[in-house]
């Protein structure tokens, strides 16, 4: 097993999830329900499943496209999301 890759994956996902909507939902559920353990296991299972699906999808796409093109597509996608967040469409802006 590649321990460096395991550690990098853990740190990346852990930092990405801090303050995420899913964490805030888990906090709200855990504080309002009588079984925080069930909320914990439900949230952990959901995160594991979502990560597993992402890894499988990434592996499948990596067989079709070279890594350089995948990185370029991801960079363009993140840039478009950033532009969209910074400059909302006129239909959504308050007048």
Which residue's entry shows tokens 């950033």? 82
Radius of gyration over every alpha carbon of the chain, rounded to an integer in angstroms: 18
Instruction: Give the model confidence (pLDDT) of 8-19 as tens digits.
Output: 888 888 888 777
Tell me: pLDDT of 94 over 90: no
Average pLDDT, the chain: 85
Domain ranges of the chain: 3-64
Q: pLDDT band at residue 45, thresholds of 50, 70 and 90?
A: very high
CA distance 63 to 5: 20
Q: pLDDT band at residue 58, thresholds of 50, 70 and 90?
A: confident
């Amino acid at each position: 097993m590649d321990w460096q890759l395991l550690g990098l994956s853990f740190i990346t996902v852990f930092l990405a999830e801090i303050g995420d909507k899913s964490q805030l939902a888990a906090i709200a559920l855990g504080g309002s329900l009588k079984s925080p353990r069930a909320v914990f296991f439900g949230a952990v299972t959901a995160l594991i499943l979502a990560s597993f699906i992402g890894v499988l999808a990434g592996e499948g796409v990596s067989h079709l496209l070279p890594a350089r093109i995948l990185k370029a597509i991801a960079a363009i996608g993140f840039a478009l999301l950033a532009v969209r967040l910074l400059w909302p469409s006129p239909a959504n802006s308050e007048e």
